[in-house]
A and B are shown apart, each in its own frame.
Chain A
Amino acid sequence: MMGQTAVAVKADNFYHQSTNKYSGILSWLLTIDHKRIGLMYMVSIIFFFLVGVIVGVLMRLELMAPGKTIVDAQTYNALFTLHGVIMIFLFIIPGLPAIFGNFFLPIQIGARDVAFPRLNLLSYYLYVIGAVLALLSLVLPGGPIDTGWTFYIPYSVRSTTNISLPLLAAFILGFSSILTGLNFITTVHRLRAPGMGFFKMPLFVWATYATAWVQIIATPVVGITILLVIIERLFGVGIFDPALGGDPILFQHMFWIYSHPAVYIMILPAMGVVSEIIPTFSRRTIFGYTAIAMSSLAIAFVGYLVWAHHMFTSGMSDTARWIFSLLTFLVALPSGVKVFNWVATMYKGSIDPQPPFLWVMAFIFLFSIGGLTGLVLGALATDVHVHDTYFVVAHFHFVMFGGTGTIFFAALHYWFPKMFGRMYNVKFARISVATFFIGFMLLYFPKFIMGYMGMPRRYYDYLPQFANLQMISTIGSWILSGTIFFIVGYLLHALFKGPKAPSNPWGGVTLEWHIQSPPIMENFKTIPTITHEPYDFSQLKEMKNA
């Protein structure tokens, strides 16, 4: 927990102003302040991220050499399930919206808090309850779930491991996500400061807003699906289980109707952060504001219509396969539009490549590889070959980790001085981007090659021709995980011992850079009236803190 005294910079900031009658730990646990809730999410989410990293490293150690290396097959199957469940449900889906959305969305639109602060706290506790149930399922009799994070039927009704409890956990986590989305949509519609029209909102707000709609509309589908699986396991009704007359393909459809849009829940907020960082460090307005804002909505909408590209080899009709292939290619276009506009924003700017900007550069490279390899998966003939191989594993790690994960670190480095009022060691931060990049490429790039060579995913053991590339991948995991723990280390050090940060260290112009660091309770002494466009850097001259 963030100690109150540890981060004290000025007495009059939200670390010292309780929203309730309590002080100390209860002033945090019962807070309804969006910034404190954001920080509580941060502590929880980073904790689970690090657990997920450790599980990932264990998987890589097992795969370092053919045959048994450190664990048996059943344990390995539990490990990859755990890695997926933790990283997806506890880190990357909630990550950016729950931490940075909570902290900065209200500030960026000139609001004192989200629309429903108590509901916001409830979302946090639903997250905690879901996480605790997921952890509990690991130690209860029956053993850790071994189905993979996709819980495919019939295996998930046959397995004797603990399935229902982690499914219930995912169900509860879904409600946390839905309530956060609901809160953000209402906040954006109702609480914008005077003068802040929709097209004066920062693009992070646009992206989080588009994400929130996906959270509300898509998440209930997985809720229903999960309940049906639990009912199937407990009562054997015969909805999905073919042994009882059910249809396992129906499960796959329902699962991906949520879980593909969920990919956009993961990436859209990250795209929003990129659209903040590039103008700030280029010190010029964003190129193609409307195109970027609209492409977020386009991704959110078309993203609903591509789910069955996860099922090109499932035996669904050939007609369905080509229709979903075509739609999949179309969803690539708005992402391309964003990348082109971001790079164009650097044109004729005044670029200061500070650590957040370096993270974004790494993002553009890694995310582009992730996106472009998605084209191989969208095309039917090539997908049939690489589906369910390491090629897919590499692709989604480039998109999710190289994309959203990289931007998680970018956002952390960008807003750290605002959130904590202290500065980290910039030199360490620059080195980290470099070693992160090297570790990442070593860990994941060989998987593209192994995938095309025919290495299936979720394999405890492998044929001898993969041994060298598997070894390289494992070495990459050491560099990457070492970098992550190094980052956590110097950021923790900065939290307690770092020099005081000015209120606007980067020369940003969105509203969070107009207020003090850390912000006061309810953010603004008086609600500002918005006259400028979001990325109008002519304001810098008027801003006292620039």
Chain B
Amino acid sequence: MSPAPTQHVETVDFIMIYIVAISVVLLLGITAAMIYFVFKYHRKKGHQPVDIHGNLLLEIVWIVIPTLLVLSMFYYGYTGFREIRDVPEDAYIIKVQARMWQWEFNYDNGKKSDTLYVPIGTPIKLELFSQDVNHSLYIPSFRIKEDAIVGRTNYLFFKPEQAGSYDIVCAEYCGLKHSMMYSKVVVLPETQYTAWYNSNAPETLKAGIGN
């Protein structure tokens, strides 16, 4: 398996496996108990049913243990979430304009692009804006998304660790061509990125990060 495109992907996948593992144990336990009881206490076997009205200890056990389990899930979910909310001060800001049905990425030298080019190893903060209806910028490979909403400045944060090209999709329903609102995030090595960044950029703003 190739290394994860961002550190955060490993975090999210770990939390997923943690929750699913506990869930599978619970599901199998419940299902096995149910099926076992149906065979063991089948009416054909002629058992006399026993009226058991309840058991306080059991009720406490199956409230307390699940409470501890879900609190641990909450905790992991929260700490994993902080990873993408605590943006370092030196993060590189790219403004994203969403509209029906395309993405436009605006760089600080005035460069516009319909594909998101980013340098590897640099913390990236995307500031999300919308021109018309709600959209949501979703990068499945990075396990992140955030809505773009008119009148608000929402943001997304990631730090790409692997060069490559990853899908960007719109995750908030936005009308006729919602399912065609794709783009790509292309993670480039620093030198290639700088070359792209400086190519055909508006003259007045050419003093970007590359210089």
Using a CB–CB distance below 8 Å, which chain A residues touch chain B? 73-74, 77, 146-148, 152, 154-155, 158-159, 242-243, 247-249, 282-285, 287-291, 313-315, 318, 321-322, 325-326, 329-330, 332-333, 336-337, 339-341, 343-344, 346-353, 361, 364-365, 368-369, 372-373, 375-376, 378-385, 387-389, 452-454, 456-463, 536-537
With A315-B154, A351-B42 already in contact, 19 other A-B pairs whose C-beta atoms are closer than 8 Å: A73-B176, A146-B175, A152-B173, A154-B150, A248-B134, A249-B149, A289-B53, A291-B54, A315-B146, A341-B59, A349-B37, A351-B38, A352-B42, A364-B31, A379-B80, A454-B138, A454-B167, A463-B167, A536-B51
User: Given contacts A346-B41, A348-B47, is CB(A364)–CB(B62) below 8 Å?
Assistant: no
Residue of B77, B141, B150 contacting most chain A CB atoms (<10 Å): B77
Contact of B147 among A315, A352, A456, A462 (CB under 8 A): A315
Instruction: Judge whether B37 and A343 touch: CB under 8 Å.
Output: yes
Instruction: Judge whether A382 and B150 touch: CB under 8 Å.
Output: no
User: Given contacts A289-B54, A379-B73, is CB(A385)–CB(B144) below 8 Å?
Assistant: yes
Instruction: Judge whether A343 and B34 touch: CB under 8 Å.
Output: yes
Complex Cα gap A31–B145 (Å): 53
Instruction: Judge whether B169 and A456 touch: CB under 8 Å.
Output: yes
Closest B residue, CB atoms, query A322: B78
Among B142-199, those with CB < 8 Å from A are: 143-147, 149-152, 154, 167, 169-180
Closest B residue, CB atoms, query A358: B38
Complex Cα gap A313–B66 (Å): 27
Which chain A positions have C-beta within 8 A of B66?
A: 332-333, 336
Stretch from B18-26, B88-96, B105-113, B203-211 contacting the other chain: B18-26
Which chain A positions have C-beta within 8 A of B37?
A: 343, 346-347, 349, 351
Which chain B positions have C-beta within 8 A of A288?
A: 53-55, 59
Contact of A361 among B38, B50, B176 (CB under 8 A): B38
Report if B200 contacts A (CB, 8 A). Answer: no
Which chain A positions have C-beta within 8 A of B22?
A: 375
Instruction: Judge whether B174 and A385 touch: CB under 8 Å.
Output: no
Closest A residue, CB atoms, query B8: A381
Complex Cα gap A159–B71 (Å): 42
Instruction: Judge whether A378 and B53 touch: CB under 8 Å.
Output: no
Instruction: Judge whether A159 and B81 touch: CB under 8 Å.
Output: no
Q: How far is the CB of A516 from chain B (nearest CB, A)?
A: 25
Which chain A positions have C-beta within 8 A of B52?
A: 284-285, 287, 344, 347-348
Instruction: Judge whether B177 and A380 touch: CB under 8 Å.
Output: no
Among B47-81, those with CB < 8 Å from A are: 47-55, 58-59, 62-63, 66-67, 70-71, 73-74, 76-81
Which chain A positions have C-beta within 8 A of B136?
A: 313, 388
List 7 A–B pairs whose Cβ atoms lie within 8 Å, in order of A's numbering.
A73-B176, A289-B54, A340-B58, A361-B35, A453-B140, A454-B140, A537-B51
Which chain A positions have C-beta within 8 A of B145?
A: 313, 384-385, 387-388
Contact of A381 among B27, B76, B132, B150 (CB under 8 A): B76
User: Given contacts A291-B59, A382-B19, is CB(A353)–CB(B38) below 8 Å?
Assistant: yes
Q: Please give the number of chain B residues whose Cβ is less than 8 angstroms from any Cβ of chain A in the complex.
A: 79
Complex Cα gap A290–B167 (Å): 51
Contact of B138 among A343, A365, A456 (CB under 8 A): A456
Contact of B176 among A77, A329, A381 (CB under 8 A): A77
Complex Cα gap A290–B54 (Å): 9
Report if B15 contacts A (CB, 8 A). Answer: yes
Q: How far is the CB of A416 from chain B (nearest CB, A)?
A: 21
Q: How far is the CB of B194 from chain A (nearest CB, A)?
A: 30
Which chain A positions have C-beta within 8 A of B83?
A: 381
Instruction: Judge whether A313 and B146 touch: CB under 8 Å.
Output: yes
Closest A residue, CB atoms, query B51: A285
Report if B84 contacts A (CB, 8 A). Answer: yes
Contact of A333 among B43, B63, B151, B172 (CB under 8 A): B63
Residue of A318, A378, A381 contacting most chain B CB atoms (<10 Å): A381
Complex Cα gap A125–B167 (Å): 50
Which chain B positions have C-beta within 8 A of A375?
A: 19, 22-23, 70, 73
Instruction: Judge whether B172 and A388 touch: CB under 8 Å.
Output: yes
Report if B33 contacts A (CB, 8 A). Answer: yes
Q: How far is the CB of A262 from chain B (nearest CB, A)?
A: 19
Q: How far is the CB of A83 from chain B (nearest CB, A)?
A: 14
Instruction: Judge whether A380 and B133 touch: CB under 8 Å.
Output: no
Complex Cα gap A247–B150 (Å): 9
Instruction: Judge whether B30 and A313 touch: CB under 8 Å.
Output: no
Which chain B positions have C-beta within 8 A of A315?
A: 128, 146-147, 149, 152, 154
Q: How far is the CB of A369 from chain B (nearest CB, A)?
A: 6
Which chain A positions have C-beta within 8 A of B140?
A: 385, 453-454
Complex Cα gap A9–B114 (Å): 72
Instruction: Judge whether A369 and B27 touch: CB under 8 Å.
Output: yes
Which chain B positions have C-beta within 8 A of A349?
A: 37, 41, 49-50
Q: How far is the CB of A110 from chain B (nearest CB, A)?
A: 22
Q: How far is the CB of B144 from chain A (nearest CB, A)?
A: 6
Q: How far is the CB of A99 from chain B (nearest CB, A)?
A: 27
Report if B16 contacts A (CB, 8 A). Answer: yes
Complex Cα gap A381–B13 (Å): 9
Complex Cα gap A343–B32 (Å): 10
Instruction: Judge whether A243 and B150 touch: CB under 8 Å.
Output: yes
Which chain A positions have C-beta within 8 A of B59?
A: 288, 291, 337, 341
Closest A residue, CB atoms, query B23: A372
Instruction: Judge whether A333 and B67 touch: CB under 8 Å.
Output: yes
Which chain B positions have C-beta within 8 A of A463?
A: 167
Instruction: Judge whether B74 and A154 touch: CB under 8 Å.
Output: no
Report if B201 contacts A (CB, 8 A). Answer: no
**7 closest residue pairs by CB, A with B:** A454-B140, A379-B77, A381-B80, A380-B81, A372-B23, A315-B154, A242-B150
Contact of B51 among A284, A326, A372, A385 (CB under 8 A): A284
Which chain B positions have C-beta within 8 A of A285?
A: 51-53
Which chain B positions have C-beta within 8 A of A289?
A: 53-54
Which chain B positions have C-beta within 8 A of A361?
A: 34-35, 38
Instruction: Judge whether A462 and B63 touch: CB under 8 Å.
Output: no
Report if B11 contacts A (CB, 8 A). Answer: yes
